[in-house]
Structure 1
Amino acid sequence: MPDQIEERVALLEAEVARLKTKVEDSASSRPWWEKITGTFANNPAYDEAMHLGQEYRKSLRPGSSESPAS
């Protein structure tokens, strides 16, 4: 039984070391928003979605004569 415990502790220590390395690596890497910059460049569907979203937000403003899209 002590051998099993030592083996399990060794496995857990190795896993903790691996996780620490992963956390340290991700802390020094670029933020997620910088990693995805340009993902939707020249994408007509994205451009249309942004346009429709802008129209919808404008329609919600007080005094807007436009009604929200259904």
Structure 2
Amino acid sequence: MATNTSLEERIAAVEAAITELQKQVANTQPTNWLQQITGSFKDEPAFEEVLALGRAIRQGDESVLEAQDEL
């Protein structure tokens, strides 16, 4: 019978852990991934260059791509 008691204790522990995890999942707020990364590249020197290149491409200046290929 000792094995049964041990098994019952183990199942009770698993059930308690599941209940705790369910509470944690229920209390989490949905996160907006964009808000999490906003500003994360502000101190990155290459970021300004990426923005400028993207702006140039959107405005139709695709010569910036050719200039980058030559580097």
For residue 6 of structure 2, give the secondary structure of its aligned residue in structure 1.
helix
Shift >4 Å, 4+ stretches: none
2:11 alignment partner, one of 9, 12, 22: 9
TM-score for the superposition, normalised by structure 2: 0.53
Question: Deviations for 1:12-55, whole angstroms, at most 9, x for unmatched residues?
Answer: 112212221222232x2432322222222243232234445x38
Could you tell me which runs of 5 or more consecutive residues in structure 1 were left unpaired when the two chains were aligned: none
Percent identity over the alignment is 29
Q: What is the distance in 2 between the residues matched to 1:24 and 1:6?
A: 27
CA distance 1:44–1:29, change in 2 (3 Å): same
The root-mean-square deviation of aligned C-alpha atoms, in Å, is: 3.1
Matched pairs, number: 63
Aligned to 1:69: 69
Point out the structure with the larger helix share. 2
Q: Which amino acid aligns with 2:32?
A: P
Aligned to 2:27: 25
TM-score for the superposition, normalised by structure 1: 0.54
Q: Which amino acid aligns with 2:21?
A: L
